[in-house]
Structure 1
Amino acid sequence: MADVKLQQLAKSYGKNQVLRQIDLHIQNGEFMVFVGPSGCGKSTLLRMIAGLESIDEGELFIGGVRSNDIPPAQRGLAMVFQSYALYPHMTVFENMAFSLTLSKMSKAEIASTVERTAEALQITHLLERKPRDLSGGQRQRVAIGRAIVRQPSLFLFDEPLSNLDASLRVQMRIELSKMHRELQSTMIYVTHDQVEAMTLGQRIAVFNGGIIEQVGTPLTLYEHPANVFVAGFLGTPKMNLLAATVMDAERQGVLVQLADGCLLQIQVDGRSLRIGDHVTVGIRAEHIKLEDTTQTSTNRLQVDVNFVEHLGDSCIVYANFPGAENLFAAKFSAEIPQLRPSQKLTLYAAAEHCYAFDTTGNALPRLSALSAR
């Protein structure tokens, strides 16, 4: 195993700065996921760790060794790409054994290693086939197997599941998690799919515009996003973000007014705010209720139903709401009454489930988080 330390790493292509002062420590045996929108720099950083891209500034340490100028083949890592990159003229066995053959391993050791890896990945029956005879999921397993046989100290995955259909993605996520538990190797996984990030990563680094916005466990990022970007990026559907004006602010909470005049009480520390300040309110779809059992005069939202997405065990209502950047989303159980487009609804959002972000986009401390310290 090997830990990976990134210290002030930067990368530019001409005048275009792709990565800016990246600092990150990936622990021995950790499954770290880089997630973010296209063009945010996550794949470039992975290629810099692999040695496929040069490092303009900063230092890279793999297993405690400065690796900026170490050739890729000597870094003790294996990389799995989005494209399977299998040799079409070779069988599955030959593809998996290729690197072992180059390392002068004996034929008996090669056979044993390949067969043991194939059994773990459930592709033993494919060893004599060629890539053209395999499905996409089978090819990706072969590509992963080819990396495993080398027994690297570090695995790098660059969007390896993006070419697979939905059901195969779920299956391969399970396989990758199982593989990590068994091998206990350090793994860095790049994806733009937040579901992959949330289900695979022990920790997640959220990238945006060449910087890391936040690093933490999936649950920490979901429940305590550091800023508007992280809040809006993680979650399906995305967090509802609403423009609001501060009406009252104190240590024990903030009262804001939304664009339609609705008053919303939010349990955040408002000492940094002043009356009249503009903030962004965040509410997740699953925290919206159809009924208010508290009978309070605040935290009620009047919306017009746009359309309803039925998911079997639940449904998502998308509605029009003044001040919302996108359609306002609310997630309910499947047992709710039938809803129609243009129907008016009164929704309720509890104060403890609302978020608030200041004018710079940074999250205000939630009282639940402060009391837990």
Structure 2
Amino acid sequence: MSFFFNVFLLYSLIILLTYISKTIALIAVVLLFLLEKKSFRRKLILLFIIPAFFFTPFKYKGEVGINGKIINKRDNQYTILTNSIYTKKWNKVRKTYTFYYNKFSIEPIYCGKDVYIHGTLENKLRVDYIAPGYKTTIFHLKDIAIKNIQKAVSNKDEQDILISSFMGGIKNKNLFKQTGTLHLFAVSGMHVYIIYFIFSFLISHVIYKRNLRILLVLPFLLLYLIFTGFSPSSVRAVLFLITINIFKLFDYYYEPLNILSFIGYLNLLLFPESILNPGFQMSYSATFMILLTLKYNPKHYELLIPISAFIGVLPFSILYFNSFSLLGILLTPLLSPIIAIIIFLDIILIIFPISFVGKIASFIAITTKSFLTLFCFIPSISLNEKIIPLILSSLILVFYIYFISSKKHTVKF
């Protein structure tokens, strides 16, 4: 595997084991280092993973005060990116918490607001009081975008589908979870690539110089992160595309798996607590499987991409949700073009909240939902006991990686 894949894997392992014991993490790294034969490469890897040994997990439970910024808001559900958390002293902690809060506030609380929160931290954050600051940032664009979509579309269910197709965070999840299509309404790499394609297509009809086109598209990708609330999957996809396009500017060869691993390393370097985020784990696992498949079997990617992504996220679906749906493999390729159309219409509505465009978007949204209800008779597979399924799904994952990357095997259709 590539150099940064080894760095990312080791860095992730150290962060995970640090939650148990730093001593165990150190022993594990020493043992793995003994397997690396090249002395210079070993020293270089050590240089990159040193910051992981300074990471101390934040495990406090009890009464807290939090300073941070609201990065996501849908009705009474908020997501805060913390700057510091007060326990018995102020601790520098950079992580996100999602919570519900429905108390009245004289000063409006919206995306981009710096806030102070008082509450209790157990398995989840329970908020007693929010004190909003007066400073507003560019994150406020997300609230404006949501309000513009709501101006053009009055039906709540249709609003939910349209907003979540662009920004994620769908509220009525049951139908989409049962049909294995929930990922289409929770911002993923696919949404970022659709945004990239839309703006690349539009700019290509105005600008003919390749390098200038690339430079003009990149700011739109960074702007899109604001609308997604910097979710792990969107950060990964945006940084991946930006890095690839920078290499293209200089006509320099790049290895996609190496770039993905480097971005994962940077993500953990800045936000080490992300390692426990299910979205982070599923996003990188699915993307790794897709890139591995494209590297060793590019001819049949239309069939293999949804299968490889499914295998990549299957162990995590079992671990966190005790269920999975095989329907997603079939329905994802069918609905992806529809999601692309909805995203394009969302962009128009955010800029110009025209009722006519809203009616078209509403029709597509409600038709999509009606189409999915046709498959409700096929239940998702729920698990009462997950240890054996988790082991089996992990073995399938390992076998697929071996099978697809082995030079002795070729897939024939």
TM-score band w.r.t. shorter chain: under 0.3
User: Per residue, is there more strand in 1 or in 2?
Assistant: 1
TM-score normalised by L of structure 1: 0.27
TM-score normalised by L of structure 2: 0.25
